[in-house]
Amino acid sequence: MAEIQGAVVAADINDDGKIELVTTDVHGNVAAWTSQGKNIWEMHLKSLVSQGPTLGDVDGDGHTDVVVPTLSGNIYVLSGKDDYSMVLADNVDGGDDLDLIVSTMNGNIFGYIGFQGKVIALTFLEGQNMLLAIVSEFCL
């Protein structure tokens, strides 16, 4: 990890009962550290990062996630434990606000409508167009 950029945030991100620190650097790296400075995990996001991470339970699994926006326009949601998922932030339901489509490493895909806590589980048939599937879920 190079020079730390933005805020350093602190929370129990891996459910061990202890506070960890999460940092980003200007080169697109994000890392989690113990309070003693031991590296827990580090990931390169393949894009420059201009601000520190934000913490919250994005996927509704009861565990803290690490949210990092990049200068390329991607928003990464990383599991506090050791892996990551991808997030699309866009207006997919035609409303006046952004919605989130989150895909997790275990194959689940969730839609978060208007950041208001309404969550739907998206389902896909093999060969189905993803955008069509998202739109059809919102229209049900």
Mean per-residue pLDDT, 29-34: 89
Do 72 and 89 fall into the same domain?
Answer: no
Do 124 and 90 fall into the same domain?
Answer: yes
Q: How sure is the predictor about 104, in pLDDT bands with cuts at 50, 70 and 90?
A: low
The CATH number of residue 44's host domain is 2.40.10
Do 38 and 77 fall into the same domain?
Answer: yes
> Which regions of 70-122 does DSSP assign to beta strands (E)?
75-79, 84-90, 99-103, 109-113, 118-121
When the pLDDT of each residue in the chain is averaged and rounded to a whole number, the result is 71
- Number of structural domains (the chain) is 2
Do 69 and 100 fall into the same domain?
Answer: no
Do 20 and 74 fall into the same domain?
Answer: yes
pLDDT digits (tens, 9 = 90+) for 45-77: 878 887 888 888 876 778 888 888 888 777 777
> Which regions of the chain does DSSP assign to beta strands (E)?
4-11, 20-25, 29-34, 39-44, 54-56, 65-69, 75-79, 84-90, 99-103, 109-113, 118-121
User: Is the Cα dihedral 56, 65, 126, 92 positive or negative?
Assistant: positive
Q: How sure is the predictor about 81, in pLDDT bands with cuts at 50, 70 and 90?
A: low
Do 87 and 47 fall into the same domain?
Answer: no
Do 23 and 76 fall into the same domain?
Answer: yes
Give me the pLDDT at residue 28, please: 85
In the sheet that 20-25 helps form, which strands lie side by side, from edge to edge?
4-11, 20-25, 29-34, 39-44
Residue 117 burial (CB count, 10 A) = 8
Domain residues for the domain of 115 are 83-140
Which of 62, 81, 100 is the last residue in one of the domains? 81
d(CA 97, CA 93): 9
Going by the DSSP 8-state scheme, the letter that residue 90 receives in this structure is: E
Residue with more model confidence, 128 or 60: 60
